[in-house]
Amino acid sequence: MLLGCIVAMSVIYCEPQLLAVFAHGLARMLGVFSWLLMALAFQPTLRSYRRSPLWGFALPCICLFYLCATVASALQYHSGRGGGWKNRVYSENPAA
């Protein structure tokens, strides 16, 4: 599941940016168009939090950070150190 998450997030959020910067012709235009649509779709959230609309263009970088945090969390979980956040440790069983 983790590998699927990594691939999906990379394709959805990072691929348009890479195409917009490194591709040529139709692929570049589709990358730019996708990146613009992504930034536009994020505008209601930015307005709600009173942030600059320009943050919409940073969404691929924000996703990359979130992706790294997801992988780090999975590695901690599999090493037996999962369930911790902000120096607080939570049990795996919420009823306990």
Q: Where are the domains of the chain?
A: 13-79
pTM: 0.71
| Closest to 13 in 3D by CA, of 51, 65, 54 | 65
Is residue 54 over pLDDT 90? yes
| Angle at alpha carbon of residue 22, lines to 17 and 28, rounded to 5° | 70
Say which amino acid occupies 3.
L
For position 13, what pLDDT does the model report?
Answer: 87
Residue range 42-68: average pLDDT? Answer: 93
What CA–CA distance (Å, rounded) separates 82 from 39? 33
Contacts of 89 (CB under 8 A, 6+ apart): 83
Number of alpha carbons in the 13 Å side-chain half-sphere of residue 67: 18
Output 76 or 54, whichever has higher pLDDT.
54
Q: Which residues pair with 89 in a beta bridge?
A: 84
Is residue 91 over pLDDT 70? no
Output 53 or 83, whichever has higher pLDDT.
53
For position 80, what pLDDT does the model report?
Answer: 75
Residue range 25-49: average pLDDT? Answer: 95
